[in-house]
Amino acid sequence: MYSKNANKYFLERARNSHFKKVILALLFAGICLNNNNVFANECNGVSLDVDYRDCFCITFRANHNGHCSCTVIWDFGDGNTLVDNGCNITKSHCYASPGTYTVTVYVDCSGGDCATSVTVYIPPPNLSSLFTSDTVCEGFCTQFTDQSTGDFTQWTWDFGDGNASTQQNPCHLYANPGTYSAILTVTDTNLCDDYDTVQTVHVNANPIADAGTYAEMCGGGSVIIGGSPTVTGGIPPWTYLWTPSSDLNCFDCANPTATPTSSDF
As a whole number of angstroms, the distance between CA 63 and CA 48 comes to 6
23 phi and psi, to 5 degrees?
-100, 115
Per-residue model confidence (pLDDT) at position 43: 62
Per-residue model confidence (pLDDT) at position 4: 41
The three-state (H, E, C) secondary structure of the chain, written as one string: CCCCCHHHHHHHHHHCCCCCCCCCEEEECCEEEECCCCCCCCCCCEEEEEECCCCCEEEEEEEECCCCCCEEEEECCCCCEEEEECCCCEEEEECCCCEEEEEEEEEEECCEEEEEEEEEEECCCCCECCEEECCEECCCCEEEEECCECCEEEEEEECCCCCEECCCCCEECCCCCEEEEEEEEEEECCCCEEECCCEEEEEECCCEECCCCCCCCCCCCCEECCCCCCEECCCCCCCCCCCCCCCECCCCCCCCEECCCCCCC
Instruction: Please tell me the total number of residues recorded for the chain in this structure.
Output: 265
Instruction: List the domains of the chain with CATH numbers.
Output: 6-122 (2.60.40.10), 131-204 (2.60.40.10), 207-265 (no CATH)
Mean pLDDT, residues 115-140 taken together: 84
pLDDT tens, position by position, 66-118: 677 888 899 999 999 999 887 878 888 999 888 899 999 898 888 778 888 88
Per-residue model confidence (pLDDT) at position 81: 94
Task: Give the pLDDT band of residue 9 (cuts 50, 70, 90).
Answer: very low
pTM (2 d.p.): 0.53
Residue 159 burial (CB count, 10 A): 21
- Most confident range, picked from 140-144, 194-198, 204-208: 140-144
Per-residue model confidence (pLDDT) at position 52: 63
Please indicate whether residue 47 or residue 194 has the higher confidence score (pLDDT).
47
For residue 114, give the nearest of 1, 2, 7 by alpha carbon.
7
Q: If you average pLDDT over every residue of the chain, what do you get?
A: 77
Per-residue model confidence (pLDDT) at position 7: 39
Q: Evaluate if residue 19 carries a pLDDT over 80.
A: no
pLDDT tens, position by position, 25-73: 333 333 333 333 333 455 667 888 887 666 788 888 888 776 778 888 9
